[in-house]
């Protein structure tokens, strides 16, 4: 919806300066549905200019010592109060293309830029067209931090146009991509003729396994958070909860009760637990999964279609929905197999440890998993058998940026520290245990 307001108009950042573009696309405020800013609709021409700037800056930047590079990166980290200083120097040096998704936009973008430039690469980054503003704001700090022109170039635009121009560019031999598995398949195909090095961080369908000896209070509180934080729009969010049959009824009752207390509200409400989803298209997609579940005979325990969503009249055009809990689904249901990437989670009972592991592993994804038990022996046994790059026990989202991160199976490729064999993935699995 366009109102008569003046919009923020973003520009590409190429060779150390902002460069206007001829055409733009609209980006919407998810909490109102109104146009919020205009984002450059870049294509091959803009990507070529950015790659040329990155190539021109490369000889000098790559010859800087690691200490000099880290000095300016620390300065940038201070300016944006970010985690850039976590990254140390390594050996790879080239022009890298970085493509990031709309969720956690600044965090995921800087998580790509920092290690790339710390290694002496120069980069062209393309943030998501749906959440470009924080990247654009960061550009202003690059020169202030004395990062030489051309080391970091940001080109805004859509995936098929700007993203694909970067993926296909012959002078960009490395692509680091975070996003959906479907887009990754396209990137693999398009980059194959150039034999590019790829790092792919993709989707998930993350299970939580709740054993009969779990601390239920902590488990319920954390699992509500792991399911619905950021509207369930974090790749590491829980979307399938397997609960031992002996505590299933008690867990479900407590979980639904706690979910109903999770407040959906507008950005200015400090008591909000959840805001709007990213777009109308995404909201429609997430809701369609709830409808499909109903059609399959599942039960919606709370949320969408069951409870009432209260949003102020000014925000009626926003993309809000209630956190939703579903039971009674079969493992083969699309709600159990596909990444919904919204505030929807499914609860399923199990009887044995083997059954829980088999069900948890029964999807194409393998990003993260959570185990709830007080039995340390079981923790190690189960974690080893779970096909997930990250396994948390009795906690969620406890992170150290120095630990290997990434997914198995269709959740990723090029996981740091890992090789392509299944055994090796298991050995380097990141298992975080809270005692
Ligand atoms: P997406 O795949 O639609 O888009 C991601 C980025 O790729 C965007 O910048 C988009 O413009 C670009 N893109 C789209 N088509 C392209 C093409 N043909 N060529 C080049 N670039 C293209 O994903 P999204 O909807 O923005 O993000 C959500 C997805 O990201 C979810 O699947 C989520 O699980 C995943 N994700 C994964 C991680 C992780 O670390 N594993 C982290 C965050 C998000």
Q: What is the mean pLDDT of residues 385-405?
A: 87
Closest to 282 in 3D by CA, of 326, 231, 216 = 231
Compute the distance from residue 202 Cα to the ligand 1 centre, in Å.
Answer: 7
Each residue's pLDDT tens digit, 180-196: 999 999 999 999 999 99
Residue 150 Ramachandran class (φ > 0 left, ψ -120 to 50 alpha, else beta) = left
C-alpha to C-alpha distance for 369 and 409, rounded to whole angstroms: 14
Residue 29 Ramachandran class (φ > 0 left, ψ -120 to 50 alpha, else beta) = beta
Dihedral through CA 128, CA 130, CA 134, CA 135, nearest 10? 30
Q: Is 91 a residue whose pLDDT tops 60?
A: no
Closest to 393 in 3D by CA, of 248, 251, 210, 216 = 210
> Which pLDDT value is given to residue 82?
64
Each residue's pLDDT tens digit, 53-88: 999 999 999 999 999 999 999 999 888 876 666 665
Cα–Cα–Cα angle for 63, 66, 67, nearest 5°? Answer: 120
Which residue is listed with tokens 């956190």?
323
Q: Name all domains of the chain by residue range, CATH numbers in brackets.
A: 8-201 (3.40.605.10), 206-433 (3.40.309.10)
Which strands form 324-327's sheet, in the order they lie side by side?
299-302, 324-327, 344-350, 238-244, 206-210, 368-372, 390-393, 430-433
C-alpha to C-alpha distance for 230 and 413, rounded to whole angstroms: 25
- 165 C-beta closer than 6 A to ligand 1: no
Q: What is the mean pLDDT of residues 213-219?
A: 97
C-alpha to C-alpha distance for 372 and 281, rounded to whole angstroms: 35
3-state secondary structure 8-26: EECCEEECCEEECCCCEEE
User: What's the distance, CA 266 to chain centroid?
Assistant: 22
Ligand 1: atom nearest CA of 203 is: 34
C-alpha to C-alpha distance for 102 and 158, rounded to whole angstroms: 11
- 154 C-beta closer than 6 A to ligand 1: no
Residues 6+ apart with CB under 8 A from 340: 232, 239, 285, 286, 289
Report the share of the chain in percent with pLDDT over 90. 84
From the CB of residue 313, how many other CB atoms can be counted at a distance below 10 Å? 5
Q: Which residues are catalytic?
A: 201, 235
From 179, 407, 414, the mutation candidate for ligand 1 (largest count of ligand atoms within 8 A of CB) is: 179
- 413 C-beta closer than 6 A to ligand 1: no
- 230 C-beta closer than 6 A to ligand 1: no
Q: Report the nearest-CA residue for atom 30 of ligand 1.
A: 179
> Which pLDDT value is given to residue 388?
93
Dihedral through CA 341, CA 345, CA 350, CA 352, nearest 10? 40
Residue 397 Ramachandran class (φ > 0 left, ψ -120 to 50 alpha, else beta) = left
Compute the distance from residue 315 Cα to the ligand 1 centre, in Å.
Answer: 27
What φ, ψ does residue 319 adopt, rounded to 5°?
Answer: -100, 60
> Which pLDDT value is given to residue 364?
97
Q: Is 323 a residue whose pLDDT tops 50?
A: yes
Q: Report the nearest-CA residue for atom 34 of ligand 1.
A: 203
Q: Is 428 a residue whose pLDDT tops 80?
A: no
C-alpha to C-alpha distance for 135 and 8, rounded to whole angstroms: 14
Closest to 329 in 3D by CA, of 354, 300, 303, 306 = 300
Q: Is 408 a residue whose pLDDT tops 50?
A: yes
- 339 C-beta closer than 6 A to ligand 1: yes
From the CB of residue 218, how many other CB atoms can be counted at a distance below 10 Å? 13
- 341 C-beta closer than 6 A to ligand 1: yes
Residues 6+ apart with CB under 8 A from 267: 31, 275
- 180 C-beta closer than 6 A to ligand 1: yes
- 232 C-beta closer than 6 A to ligand 1: no
| DSSP code at position 148 | P
C-alpha to C-alpha distance for 427 and 424, rounded to whole angstroms: 5
Half-sphere exposure of 304 (CA within 13 A, CB side): 25
> Which pLDDT value is given to residue 204?
97
Q: Is 117 a residue whose pLDDT tops 70?
A: yes
Q: In this predicted structure, which of 87-91, 123-127, 146-150 has the lowest mean pLDDT? A: 87-91
What φ, ψ does residue 29 adopt, rounded to 5°?
Answer: -80, 115
Q: In this predicted structure, which of 70-74, 238-242, 342-346 has the lowest mean pLDDT? A: 70-74
Q: What is the mean pLDDT of residues 141-168?
A: 96
Whole-structure pTM value: 0.93
Q: Is 229 a residue whose pLDDT tops 90?
A: yes
Which residue is listed with tokens 């990723």?
412
Q: Is 429 a residue whose pLDDT tops 70?
A: no
From 180, 319, 363, 397, the mutation candidate for ligand 1 (largest count of ligand atoms within 8 A of CB) is: 180
| Banded pLDDT at 426 (limits 50, 70, 90) | very low
Residues 6+ apart with CB under 8 A from 256: 301, 302, 325
Q: Is 167 a residue whose pLDDT tops 50?
A: yes
Ligand 1: atom nearest CA of 183 is: 2
Compute the distance from residue 127 Cα to the ligand 1 centre, in Å.
Answer: 9
From the CB of residue 366, how many other CB atoms can be counted at a distance below 10 Å? 25
- 178 C-beta closer than 6 A to ligand 1: yes
Which residue is listed with tokens 């393309």?
126
Dihedral sign of CA atoms 140, 145, 148, 153 in order: negative
DSSP for 72-110?
A: HHHHHHHHHT-SGGG----S--SEEEEE--SSSHHHHHH
Compute the distance from residue 182 Cα to the ligand 1 centre, in Å.
Answer: 9
H helices present in 99-204, as ranges: 105-118, 133-144, 164-168, 181-191
């Amino acid at each position: 919806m366009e109102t008569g307001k003046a919009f923020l108009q973003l520009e590409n950042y190429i060779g150390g300066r902002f460069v206007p573009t001829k055409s733009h696309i609209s980006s919407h405020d998810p909490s109102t549905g109104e146009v919020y800013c205009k984002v450059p609709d870049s294509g091959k021409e803009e990507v070529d200019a950015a790659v040329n700037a990155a190539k021109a800056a490369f000889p000098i930047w790559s010859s800087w010592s690691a200490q000099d590079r880290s000095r300016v990166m620390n300065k940038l980290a201070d300016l944006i109060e970010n985690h850039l200083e976590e990254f140390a120097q390594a050996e790879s040096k080239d022009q890298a293309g970085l493509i990031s998704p709309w969720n956690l936009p600044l965090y995921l973008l800087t998580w790509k830029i920092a290690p790339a430039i710390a290694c002496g690469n120069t980069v062209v980054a393309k943030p998501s067209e749906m959440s470009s503003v924080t990247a654009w704001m960061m550009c202003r700090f690059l020169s202030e931090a004395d990062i030489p022109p051309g080391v970091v170039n940001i080109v805004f635009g859509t995936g098929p146009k700007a993203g694909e121009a970067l993926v296909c560019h012959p002078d960009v031999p490395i692509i680091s991509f975070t996003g959906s598995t479907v887009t990754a398949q396209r990137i693999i195909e398009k980059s194959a003729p150039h034999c590019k090095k790829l790092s792919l961080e993709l989707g998930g369908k993350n299970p939580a396994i709740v054993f009969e000896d779990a601390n239920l209070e902590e488990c319920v509180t954390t699992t509500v958070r792991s399911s619905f934080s950021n509207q369930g729009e974090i790749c590491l969010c829980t979307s399938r909860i397997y609960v031992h049959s002996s505590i299933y009824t008690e867990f479900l009752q407590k979980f639904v009760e706690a979910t109903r207390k999770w407040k959906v509200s507008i950005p200015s409400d400090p008591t909000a637990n959840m805001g709007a989803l990213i777009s109308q298209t995404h909201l429609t997609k997430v809701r369609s999964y709830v409808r499909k579940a109903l059609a399959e005979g599942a039960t919606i325990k709370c949320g969408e279609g069951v409870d009432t969503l209260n949003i102020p009249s000014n925000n009626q055009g926003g993309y809000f929905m209630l956190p939703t809990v579903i039971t009674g689904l079969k493992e083969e249901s699309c709600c159990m197999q596909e990444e919904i990437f919204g505030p929807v989670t499914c609860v399923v009972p199990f009887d044995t440890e083997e059954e829980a592991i088999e069900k948890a592993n029964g999807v194409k994804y393998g990003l993260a998993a959570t185990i709830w038990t007080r039995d340390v022996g079981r923790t190690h046994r189960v974690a080893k058998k779970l096909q997930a790059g990250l396994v948390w026990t009795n906690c969620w989202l406890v992170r150290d940026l120095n630990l290997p991160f990434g997914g198995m199976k269709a959740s990723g490729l090029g996981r740091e520290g890992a090789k392509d064999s299944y055994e090796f993935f298991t050995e380097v699995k990141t298992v975080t245990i809270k005692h």
